[in-house]
């Protein structure tokens, strides 16, 4: 990474370490006065109070930084945190059961003047709910089992070409070109290229006018990683999930892609932060 990228990653590491240690003074001093979190303006006090609520609900909360990388300009950082704990009171709509949980949180931080200016973050609430309420805990695998690829350029173009290809109908060719034969998904299971192709063809069959709008994109060509947050929008043409034909569906997704030694996608972590139906520019109940 460049010197600027190294600097901003160091700032991010300080922030996450302070969060894990509940060092609110350090965090407050490093927040920009015009801070936003998921597009909502927050004061430093509001940000800290939200974090304190998490520790109140989960007294044994552990936060470990698994991945952190920055763009060459040194203003954006993409991070993946591994979060563990046991709920003691209701939190994010999930009721405590005494069962521990573990999940990954994907986040993008934008820095200005050395302070956190914008935060985009996705929490896998469904994973927490499943582990706490019913399903056994599945440890999150943080190791991907392969070394770094040779450094190449054009990773941003490769990534955006994949997204463009699968949204504009060129699914098979795009996936075969970009993905390894087997891809580690969310650190838990391997999925084949054929499965990825079929999943996207199913979406193509049910939705038309697919569009992608990037909200944040961070590329680390030194280590061949891409972190992104983006909207996917399409019109339903046949029954799809619980949606009806004619509705416009919008997902907000976070993803981190890891490229293997062969220059292909070897592992990815993906979280759908929200999904909603839109009719005439307004949200429909779902």
The mean pLDDT value of the chain amounts to 83
122 shares its domain with 176: no
- In a domain, residue 26? The reply is yes
105 shares its domain with 161: no
219 shares its domain with 129: no
- In a domain, residue 48? The reply is yes
- If one counts every other C-beta atom within 10 angstroms of the C-beta of residue 268, the result is 18
* pLDDT tens-digit map of 9-54: 999 999 999 999 999 999 999 999 999 988 889 999 999 999 999 9
- In the chain, the number of structural domains is 2
* pLDDT tens-digit map of 243-260: 999 999 999 888 888 888
41 shares its domain with 114: yes
pTM of the entire structure?
0.67
117 shares its domain with 177: no
Q: Which of 233, 253, 217 is nearest to 76 (CA)?
A: 217
- In a domain, residue 159? The reply is yes
DSSP state for residue 96 in the 8-state scheme? P
CATH number reported for the structural domain that contains residue 262 in this entry = 3.10.450.50
121 shares its domain with 161: no
124 shares its domain with 193: no
* pLDDT tens-digit map of 160-187: 999 989 988 899 999 999 999 999 887 6
Instruction: Find out whether 195 and 182 touch, Cβ atoms under 8 Å.
Output: no
- In a domain, residue 16? The reply is yes
12 shares its domain with 90: yes
């Amino acid at each position: 990474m460049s010197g600027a990228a190294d600097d901003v990653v160091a700032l991010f590491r300080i922030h996450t370490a302070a969060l894990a240690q509940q060092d609110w003074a350090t965090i407050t001093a490093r927040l920009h006065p015009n801070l936003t979190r998921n597009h909502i303006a927050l004061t430093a006090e509001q940000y800290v109070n939200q974090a304190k609520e998490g520790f109140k609900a989960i007294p044994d909360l552990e936060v470990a930084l698994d991945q952190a990388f920055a763009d060459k300009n040194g203003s954006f950082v993409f991070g993946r945190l591994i979060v563990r704990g046991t709920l003691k009171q209701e939190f994010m709509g999930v009721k405590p059961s005494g069962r521990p949980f573990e999940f990954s949180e994907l986040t993008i931080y934008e820095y200005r003047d050395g302070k956190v200016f914008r935060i985009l973050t996705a929490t896998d609430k469904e994973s927490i709910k499943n582990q706490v309420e019913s399903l056994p805990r599945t440890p999150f695998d943080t190791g991907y089992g392969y070394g770094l690829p040779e450094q190449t350029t054009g990773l941003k173009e490769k990534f955006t070409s994949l997204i463009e290809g699968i949204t504009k109908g060129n699914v098979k060719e795009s996936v075969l070109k970009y993905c390894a034969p087997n891809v580690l998904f969310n650190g838990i299971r391997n999925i084949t290229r054929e499965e990825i192709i079929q999943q996207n063809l199913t979406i193509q069959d049910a939705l038309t006018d697919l569009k992608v709008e990037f909200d944040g994109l961070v590329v680390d060509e030194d280590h061949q990683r891409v972190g992104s947050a983006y909207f996917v929008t399409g019109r339903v043409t046949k029954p799809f999930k619980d949606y009806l034909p004619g509705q416009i569906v919008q997902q907000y997704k976070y993803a981190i892609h890891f490229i293997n030694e062969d220059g292909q996608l070897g592992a990815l972590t993906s979280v759908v932060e929200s999904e909603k139906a839109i009719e005439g520019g307004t949200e429909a109940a779902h």
